[in-house]
């Protein structure tokens, strides 16, 4: 199960029918007329699951083989190694430096990219199923 607090606008999730879906930010009017942001999934409000991160998802987001001394994928300066860990390359010796925890799910990658670049990570190749 996934917690709504882990999701941002446009986070990918698996809905109750095991389909890939996205959460969206909408505004609701509260009791006294103030607008509050609410995130929801059109096809499922309950029983959503995180989408496991895979090489296919990395490629779908535009990550390419990095020019490093170790196995990694890169997109817009963000490096992820073969174990899906955020990393960087030592500028002097070229060694890998682990800079973050292992990213297990697509929404975690989306959150990390947003923190890195200040904008949403957009899918470049449509992915319709989890595997």
Q: pLDDT tens for residues 98-127?
A: 888 899 999 999 989 998 899 988 887 766
Look up tokens 């609410």; give the residue: 38
Confidence (pLDDT) at 122: 86
- What is the per-residue pLDDT for 26? 61
Q: 39: pLDDT confidence band, cut at 50, 70 and 90?
A: low
Give 22's contacts (C-beta < 8 A, 6+ positions apart). 10, 11, 12, 13, 41
Q: What pLDDT does residue 62 have?
A: 94
CA angle 53, 46, 29 (to 5 degrees): 110
C-alpha span between 129 and 131 (Å, rounded): 6
């Amino acid at each position: 199960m996934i917690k709504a607090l882990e999701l941002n606008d446009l986070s990918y999730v698996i809905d109750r029918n095991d389909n890939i879906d996205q959460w969206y930010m909408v505004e609701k009017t509260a009791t006294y007329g103030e607008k509050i942001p609410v995130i929801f999934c059109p096809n499922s409000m309950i029983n959503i699951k995180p989408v496991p991160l895979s090489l296919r998802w990395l490629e779908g987001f535009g990550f390419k083989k990095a020019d490093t001394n170790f196995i990694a994928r890169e997109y817009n300066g963000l490096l992820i190694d073969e174990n899906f860990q955020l990393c960087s390359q030592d500028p002097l010796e070229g060694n890998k430096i682990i800079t973050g925890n292992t990213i297990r799910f697509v929404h975690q990658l989306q959150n990390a990219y947003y923190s890195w670049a200040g904008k949403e990570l957009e899918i470049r190749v449509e992915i319709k199923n989890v595997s």
